[in-house]
Each structure stands twice: as C-alpha cells, then as structure tokens.
A and B are shown apart, each in its own frame.
Chain A
C-alpha cells in the first residue's frame, strides 16, 4: 500500500516546509519525494545479506554542477 504520486509529492512538500523547524528522515523510493530531499541515503541489501549504505548529499546541487559542466563544454 503506497500513496499515488500526487499525494506523495504533497507529503514531500509538507515535510520540506516543516524541515525548516525540525529534522526528518523519510523512507521512500518515490522520485517526487526524493527530488526535494536535502540528502539521499541509499540502503540496499545484496544477495550476500550484508546491507550496503551510500550517501548522496544534495543531488540537486550535483545536477546543477553537471549542467554547468555541460554549458562550459558547449562554450568551449
């Protein structure tokens, strides 16, 4: 049982607004929710049974760097 994208996005926006006053950890794989997250912590369990953890801080910032890099390359 999970929310549809529209409501999932509304929840994410509400959490984003409230994050000005408090910290939140939200468990989700919905991209509409991940898009507004400050940090992504990926937890997955491979067949070996030992969980792997990766952290991607501020993916939006990374996307902006990539865009600047593309623009710089085009300028050159």
Chain B
C-alpha cells in the first residue's frame, strides 16, 4: 500500500458521499473537495500512507479554504495515537502534522469566536430608561454547537463481563507478581555468600572458653560428652572441637573405651596441668 492508494480511498469516500448527498449544496461542496483533491495529488507526498492521508485532509483546510469544522481532529488524534502506541511514526512528520492540526484548531477557534460574537449595535445617543429593556429581545444567543470533535466519551455502567474480565486480569497480574517474587527468592538463594558474612563466625578461643565454663558447671568427675551435646549441630561441633583444644592444653582428659561407637568421656584435670589456655592461645588456630 502506498500514498496513492490512500488518496484513491479518499476519492472513493468522497464519491460515495457525493452520490448519497440529498441536496445540491452538499453535492457541490463534495464536488469541490474532489477537485481540490485531484489538484493536490501532484504535490509532495509523505512516505507513510496514513501520514499522507492526514496531511492531504489537513491541506484541504489550510491551503484550499475548506471549513475547518469539516475536520474531526479527535479522529486524527485517535489515528495517530494508534501509530504512537505501535511506535511506528516519524517524529519529524508527526511534528509537521501536529503543527497543521494546531493551525486547524486555531481556525476552528477563530470561526467559533466570530460566530459567537454578538452583532455590533448602532450607537444611540438618546438613551432613555427603557434602553436596556428594549434591547433585551435582541440579545444574540451564540450559535456554538458542541460536536464530537471535543466531546468526551460519556460514562456508562460497567457490564458483568467487563467486571469479570477485570477480576481475571487482576488475578493473572497477582500470579505474575508471585512468580516474579518466587524467582527472585530463588536467585537470591543461589547468590554466593559474601565473605564478610562468614569471615568472623568462627572464634575458636571464645568457643573453648564457653565450653570450658559449661564443663566446670557440671562439676568434677567423668562426664559423657553427649551430656554436653544439644540439638544444634553447630553447637555440638563447637563442643567436640573445644574438647580437643582443652585436652591439648591439659585442662581436660578425654577417652573412649570402644572405637568407634563407644561413649566419649571427659574429665577435668585438677593436678599436673602443664599450662593454661592463655599460654596456648597462639596454638588454637583453625586449619582447612
């Protein structure tokens, strides 16, 4: 489809209305439009057929003196809005068309103002008291008629189908939102842990002191290591490792009668300890 085809469409449209015209005035007016249109075909044409059609119609008003109120600018807005939504418009052409539309709107406004102005009254020198009352009957009512060009869509009740559709759209939107949230949580869970979150979690020296205090609270004598265990794996690991440290520094003795499933016992050494934990802190270090 090219610009010429659209012009032909316009011609066909005018021909149709010319044939349907019921009075001579309309017949002649549409005939004039067709003459103007045939002359306009030889001028510059825009590459886009819709743009060209709009430009041609606007040119009828701007260059050939057609009544600006013959143009329904709201239809132009609707047509061009579709192009903007589809992102299929040339910004330069759109600017030119906007300028033409603005000129037509200005012409419409001017013509409306002219029609609305009351006729100039002859100035009468001999004004008597009945002047205002006498002229009251001559007051001119503006001839402005609001047409569809600047009327808004009237409000109407919402149908049940529309209401159900709206609920359905809202439900789908919620599902999409929930799915996004789920994917976001999954991606967040897959993110590698940051170093600073775990860098200082392990403090062997502090752990050893905590376990040592717990063992001291249980008193002297042998203690089964399971008495020190809890339902927290990390706490139990802390206990197990700390017992090894405490044995190394000579505070505890540890033994296991049967390997590997026998009970592990620990006992506080009261005599013969060779040092304190403070003396050996440099040796309490983790290895890979």
Residue of A whose beta carbon sits closest to that of B193: A6
Total number of A residues with any Cβ neighbor in B under 8 Å: 40
Residue B48 lies at the interface, judged by CB distance under 8 Å to chain A: no
Inter-subunit contact B259/A53 (CB<8 Å): yes
Q: How many A-B residue pairs have CB under 8 A?
A: 116
Inter-subunit contact B240/A56 (CB<8 Å): yes
A28 to B237 CA separation, bound complex (whole angstroms):
12
Comparing B14-22, B61-69, B197-205, the segment that makes contact with chain A is B197-205
Least CB distance, A29 to chain B, in whole angstroms = 5
Instruction: Name the contact of A62 in the complex, choosing from B202, B226, B248, B253 (C-beta under 8 A).
Output: B226
Inter-subunit contact A47/B244 (CB<8 Å): no
A40 to B231 CA separation, bound complex (whole angstroms):
17
Inter-subunit contact B287/A2 (CB<8 Å): yes
Residue B256 lies at the interface, judged by CB distance under 8 Å to chain A: yes
Inter-subunit contact A59/B233 (CB<8 Å): yes
Given contacts A55-B260, A63-B229, contact A42 B236 (CB under 8 A): no
Which residues of B from 109 to 166 have beta carbons under 8 Å from A? Answer: none
Nearest 7 A-B pairs (CB), nearest first?
A: A67-B231, A47-B274, A55-B260, A5-B198, A44-B244, A66-B231, A47-B250
Question: 14 A–B contact pairs at CB < 8 A?
Answer: A3-B288, A27-B288, A31-B202, A31-B241, A32-B198, A34-B237, A44-B254, A46-B248, A54-B225, A54-B255, A63-B232, A66-B226, A66-B229, A70-B231
